[in-house]
Chain A
Amino acid sequence: MENKKILMTGNEAIAEAAIQAGCRFYAGYPITPQNEIPAYFAKRMPEVNGTFIQAESELAAINMVFGASAAGKRAMTSSSSPGISLKQEGISYLSGCELPAVIVNVMRGGPGLGNIGPSQGDYFQATKGGGHGDYHIIVLAPSSVQEAFDLTVSAFDLADIYRMPAMILVDGLLGQMMEPLHVTTSPSHQVTSKPWALTGAKNRKPNIIRSLYLADGALEEFNNKLQKKYSSIAEKEVIFESYKNADCEVLIVSYGMPARISVGAIDNLRKSGLKAGLFRPVSLWPFPKKDLAQVGKNKKILVVEMSSGQMIEDVMLSLDGKCRVEFLGRTGGEIPSEEEIIAKIKGMYGKNI
């Protein structure tokens, strides 16, 4: 693909980004609203001599990814909320074994079978563990098709550099919509050397991939090592976006599609003299705590999510009780509108906060 602009859906852009990043292994399972991802790979992987597998379940798929990753290869799986729940054991294992992988969650309404509408109800699952044990995965949340593409390429790089899973967290709206996209052909920044990979113990000591540490104190030592790694990532790999928030009085904190919808609301409010702005976390883990604390000082805060309020807890922690935080949320596959956001902010101006 040349460096021109084409129309592509979010789902397909993520799949193509994986190909561009050198991913040659994908295992997945059908679930709405991410079916376009496995269907795209079914066509595209043979073109690049890669492997596409429709696994028997999401659980099998994450374990296939584990295998491909253990061999040192870039591997991806995708699903939507209920399927991501199935993958949690595998994600914990990938984390404990320090294996890189990219997992895509195209969120739908929940809990349970829910519906196929867009949602952001898996924030806790993605950023606070989801699986068992003391681990984190890198979580990136795009809000445009172009960003979904770019962040997917970055996710492979980050997963390799830090030897851990990375997740692309989108909602069904971004997965299904089409927008112009520049497909880059510049190679991503491959970690070429993976001496830990299982490639056959020729001329070297055998490599072992394990997360089991039975010796006295060994597991604590390993956990300390993981935590050191996570602290380093929290210092270095934070990504966020600011929109007209230097002089704003009301700060919207939002990610993914609601953040994008907020931009329209902000422009509209500014026309009537109300100074609103946006702080958009792009890395949900590591969460941009310090940057938000700085930007949010002395401002009225409105968190907008397609959930009953999950990221809001991280926002409150970052602001350390120094500002009052209001919330606007929709659940069940419903999408907050510009009008709702505008009305909420106008209401906030009326109050004495």
Chain B
Amino acid sequence: MDRAGSYQDIPARKNKMKDKPQSLLRLRSGQASHSFDFAQDKQVTPSTSLRTSKSPVTEKIIFSGSGGQGIMLMAKVLAQVAMQAGKFVTWLPSYGAEVRGGTARCMLVISDEKIGSPFIILADTLVAMNEPSLKKYSPNLKKGGTLVINTSLAQAGSLDLEDIKLVRIAATEIAVELGNIKVANLVTLGAYLASKKIVSKDAFIKCLFEIAQAINPALFEINKKAFERGYNGKS
């Protein structure tokens, strides 16, 4: 049975590499290479001017809280800022049934180097927006790590905080004072970035502006205020 239009109809090209048959796909697309070069793939190339030391900087952050506190969003905003600053970034949410009414968590890895696993077992920083999530994820904070805690809803009292850098911020109270409880996440982000300047304050606000334009421009002002309060704030 003659089947017109099969792959056999594609004209043969002169084989540049002897004994190596050419991929029909690559013949059409003009690519020569057979394999990916991991180091050259199209991920963002980090800007070398951001390196502060010889060894590359990686920051692993676990954001946690209850569903509805905007955990995913706060991590997403920071991911966007870091990406624009030329860093490698991975963002991994908790998904599915895990999210329903319980603790929500988002894992964010920011690095000058290509990132292997997006899954964080031991974090450099834990951001805990409420008590249940603090209890659940404090075992995942490394010794010598940073704990950013929303003191309106969580107390670090019962934990062993030896060797942990504590950043306290009454995020929910500040957010309510500003008029919208939902911006507690931005207050917390401000407090975190003040303690670990992995991206600049100005870069953050610029990116926040762009994100607000895409979602709802009216939200920019209050989110900016919330971030600044957290950045400048006291516990």
Asked if the two chains touch in their complex, CB atoms less than 8 Å apart, one says yes
> Is A349 on the interface with B (CB-CB < 8 A)?
no
> Is A249 on the interface with B (CB-CB < 8 A)?
no
Within 8 A of B (CB), among A244-266: 257, 260-265
Asked whether A116 lies within 8 Å of B95 as measured between CB atoms, the reply is yes
| Nearest neighbor of A116 in chain B, beta-carbon distance | B96
| Nearest neighbor of B38 in chain A, beta-carbon distance | A243
B contact residues around A32 at 8 Å (CB): 95-96
A116 vs B29: C-alpha distance in the bound complex, in angstroms? 37
Which of A171-179, A311-319, A321-329 forms part of the interface with chain B?
A171-179
Within 8 A of B (CB), among A72-103: 98
A contact residues around B93 at 8 Å (CB): 176
Distance in angstroms from A320 CB to nearest chain B CB is 21
* A163-207 interface bits toward B, Cβ cutoff 8 Å, 1 = contact, 0 = none: 100000000110011111010000001000111100000000000
Asked whether B80 lies within 8 Å of A7 as measured between CB atoms, the reply is yes
A contact residues around B118 at 8 Å (CB): 173, 177
> Is A232 on the interface with B (CB-CB < 8 A)?
yes
A335 vs B117: C-alpha distance in the bound complex, in angstroms? 9
Distance in angstroms from B10 CB to nearest chain A CB is 7
Distance in angstroms from B138 CB to nearest chain A CB is 19
CB contact between A33 and one of B4, B95, B117 (< 8 Å): that residue? B95
B contact residues around A338 at 8 Å (CB): 116-117
A98 vs B89: C-alpha distance in the bound complex, in angstroms? 41
A50 vs B216: C-alpha distance in the bound complex, in angstroms? 28
Asked whether A235 lies within 8 Å of B42 as measured between CB atoms, the reply is no
Asked whether A196 lies within 8 Å of B92 as measured between CB atoms, the reply is no
B contact residues around A196 at 8 Å (CB): 3-5
Distance in angstroms from A286 CB to nearest chain B CB is 11
Asked whether A163 lies within 8 Å of B95 as measured between CB atoms, the reply is no
Given A157-B25, A177-B91, the answer on whether A264 and B5 have CB atoms closer than 8 Å is no
> Is A65 on the interface with B (CB-CB < 8 A)?
no
A contact residues around B3 at 8 Å (CB): 98, 196
Q: How large is the interface on B (under 10, 10 to 19, 20 to 34, 35 or more residues)?
A: 35 or more
* A147-161 interface bits toward B, Cβ cutoff 8 Å, 1 = contact, 0 = none: 100100010011001
Asked whether A180 lies within 8 Å of B25 as measured between CB atoms, the reply is no
Asked whether B38 lies within 8 Å of A241 as measured between CB atoms, the reply is yes
Asked whether A242 lies within 8 Å of B24 as measured between CB atoms, the reply is no
| Nearest neighbor of A184 in chain B, beta-carbon distance | B42
> Is A282 on the interface with B (CB-CB < 8 A)?
yes
* A1-43 interface bits toward B, Cβ cutoff 8 Å, 1 = contact, 0 = none: 0000101000000000000000000000000110000000000
Asked whether B7 lies within 8 Å of A178 as measured between CB atoms, the reply is no
A contact residues around B6 at 8 Å (CB): 163
Given A196-B3, A242-B35, A335-B119, the answer on whether A179 and B25 have CB atoms closer than 8 Å is no
22 A-B pairs (CB sep. < 8 Å): A7-B89, A32-B95, A98-B3, A116-B96, A144-B41, A146-B41, A146-B42, A161-B10, A161-B25, A162-B24, A172-B95, A173-B118, A178-B89, A179-B91, A232-B7, A236-B22, A241-B35, A241-B36, A264-B116, A264-B117, A337-B121, A338-B117
B interface residues, Cβ below 8 angstroms from A: 3-7, 10, 21-25, 28-29, 34-38, 41-44, 76, 79-80, 83, 88-93, 95-97, 114, 116-119, 121
A interface residues, Cβ below 8 angstroms from B: 5, 7, 32-33, 98, 116, 144, 146-147, 150, 154, 157-158, 161-163, 172-173, 176-180, 182, 189, 193-196, 229, 232, 235-243, 257, 260-265, 282, 335, 337-339
Given contacts A172-B95, A265-B116, 10 further A-B contacts (CB under 8 A): A33-B96, A116-B97, A144-B43, A146-B41, A163-B7, A179-B43, A179-B90, A240-B35, A242-B35, A338-B117
8 nearest A-B pairs in the assembled complex, by CB-CB distance: A264-B116, A178-B91, A189-B28, A195-B5, A261-B117, A241-B36, A116-B96, A235-B21
